[in-house]
Chain A
Amino acid sequence: MDKDSQDVHQELAKLKAKIQEAREQISNMPGIESSPAEQQQQLATLREQVRTKNQLLQKYKSLCMFDVPKAS
């Protein structure tokens, strides 16, 4: 009985350690700070930002009416 209970305690400690390890791993996992829906929203925002900024740059590129003298 004593031996059993010791074994049980040991197993429980092991389990606790494992769970703790899992917790740490989860804490270190990237990109799970938000829910999938929120993340998708953020992703969409970022894509939109890149698209807008690309458009803006493209617009100014095509607008360029004079050559900028290269600094020598």
Chain B
Amino acid sequence: AETTMATAAEKSTKERLLCVLEDLEVLSRELIEMLALSRSQKLPQPGEDTQILELLVQRDREFQELMEVAQQQGKVHQEMQLLEKEVEKRDNDIQQLQKQLKEAEHILATAVYQAKEKLKSIDKARKGSISSEEIIKYAHRISASNAVCAPLNWLPGDPRRPYPTDLEMRSGMLGHMANLPTNGVNGHLPGDALAAGRLPDVLTPHYPWQSSDVSVGMLPPHHGNDFGLEPPGHNKENEDDVEAMSTDSSSSSSDSD
């Protein structure tokens, strides 16, 4: 009996109503047929009609009760529909809010990223700060002392070579860019070292190009061949300079005559 109760409880009200209605139909029909028959014949079993009638009344009562339940459920259903509408409304609100929060997040993320970039560049600028005085000093040295061409009386071994020399070029930023993977040395050189045309002893052994092929560097070697690319209209004095500056005997400038 408990299992029947359990299944009855699990069954929907609609199913139960239809079930009872079915019973009512069957019982009513049976009763009507029985009554119709009783006019002409004797009842097969006396009291059967009352039994059916009782069952019918019982089913009817059940039906009425279920109808009450169904009406209550109808009311609850209305309430549920209202609640569902409310839930939907709240869902929309939440989605709207979520959208706004996402937008805000995006704006903030962009702002934070830009601020970080700015801080990074500020930090970088601070770390790599060079006094303008030093730059001017360096520029002055380049322009004032044999920066463009060697002195006329230059001979091999004379340290007063045109600036910058091959070695200095390679120790600068451009040279370092070509040797990035093995580079661990700061690109800036003290002005004194540059002026003297030599490197501090501490730095010298670390330069990667010293052991590797010279042509790996970003700039071509400071050889006479480079001057050979010049148009053949230059004067004798320049030619002499070139000849004098070049340490390579294969200079093509002498062939231009």
Contact = CB atoms under 8 A, between A and B. Distances in A.
Q: How large is the interface on B (under 10, 10 to 19, 20 to 34, 35 or more residues)?
A: 35 or more
Given A26-B18, A46-B87, A34 B76 contact: no
Interface string B16-53: 01100100110011001100100110000000000000
Nearest to B70: A32
Contacts, number: 101
A50 B90 contact: yes
Interface stretch (B7-15, B154-162, B196-204): B7-15
A47 B83 contact: yes
A9 B12 CA distance: 33
B74 interface: yes
B64 to A, nearest CB: 13
Contacts of A46: 80, 83-84, 87
B29 A35 contact: no
Contacts of A37: 9
Interface string A42-64: 11001101100110110010000
Contact of A31 (B29, B80, B86, B90): B80
Nearest to B90: A53
Contacts of A4: 36, 39-40
A12 B84 CA distance: 44
B17 A15 contact: no
B73 A32 contact: yes
Interface in A19-38: 19, 22-23, 26-27, 29-38
B135 interface: no
Interface of A is mostly: helix
B219 interface: no
B77 interface: yes
A53 to B, nearest CB: 4
B123 interface: no
A22 B70 CA distance: 13
Contacts of B17: 26, 32
Given A8-B33, A30-B74, A57-B97, A19 B24 contact: yes
A22 to B, nearest CB: 6
A16 B13 CA distance: 22
B79 interface: yes
Interface of B: 9-14, 17-18, 21, 24-25, 28-29, 32-33, 36, 39-40, 69-70, 72-80, 83-84, 86-87, 90-91, 93-94, 97, 100, 104
17 contacts: A4-B39, A4-B40, A12-B33, A15-B25, A19-B21, A26-B14, A26-B17, A29-B74, A30-B74, A31-B77, A32-B74, A35-B10, A37-B9, A38-B10, A46-B84, A57-B97, A68-B100
